[in-house]
Structure 1
Amino acid sequence: MLTLTDTAAKVIRDLNAQAGVSTDKGIRISSQDDDAGSLMLSVADGPQNTDKVVESEGAKVYLDPVAASVLDDKALDADIDDQGGISFHVEDQAV
């Protein structure tokens, strides 16, 4: 199952705090037209019926079935640049 780094969890919590007070807010990673080679990340109010939920340190990530399969052995990390821009990236899980 996808894991979150401490940085990614903090960034997701911060995004949720800016977006509102819903306790189900998180980010959603989904495939485009069942294409495992193209994943999208968006802010979500909650999971869809078929989503797998990953929760770490209060941060929630919702994965559609294709994304869950592709990211099963990966870790989600995040970087914040000097202007406050956020970038998420996927890496292999630490052994």
Structure 2
Amino acid sequence: MLALTENVTEIVKKLAEEVPAVSGLRIAAEADGQSLSVSPADQAAPDDQILEQDGATVYVEEVASVLLADKILDGGVDEEGNIQFALGQQA
């Protein structure tokens, strides 16, 4: 199952606190089956896996969950306030 770094949990919690309509992030596979999208979400879609870690919630679409099964999601915020995410291999 996808794991989250401390950076990502803090980003997701802050986003959910600052934007009332957002409860977490949603990761979904794009139509090509290889690319992923990350977007704020207010709830899970019917077939999403729900990952809760250290107070942060991430909804993972079914196809994306297969692609991310052995990955770790990291993230950061740049000087302009843009959130960036990166995937790595779990140890």
How would you bin the TM-score normalised by the shorter chain?
Answer: over 0.9
For 1:35-81, what per-residue CA distance to the aligned partner results, in whole angstroms no more than 9, with x for missing partners? Answer: 32111111000101100011111101111111000000000101111
Q: Which runs of 4+ in 1 moved over 6 A?
A: none
Question: SS where residue 74 of structure 2 aligns?
Answer: strand
**CA distance, structure 1, for counterparts of residue 39 and residue 61 of structure 2:** 12
Matched, 1:20 2:25: no
Identical-pair percentage: 35
Counterpart selection for 1:45 from 42, 46, 56: 42
**CA distance, structure 1, for counterparts of residue 56 and residue 45 of structure 2:** 17
**CA distance, structure 1, for counterparts of residue 34 and residue 71 of structure 2:** 15
Please give the root-mean-square deviation of Cα atoms over the aligned residues, in Å.
Answer: 1.3
- Consecutive unaligned residues of structure 1, counting only runs of 5 or more, are none
TM-score of the pair, normalised by structure 1: 0.88
- Consecutive unaligned residues of structure 2, counting only runs of 5 or more, are none
* Other-structure match for 1:4: 4
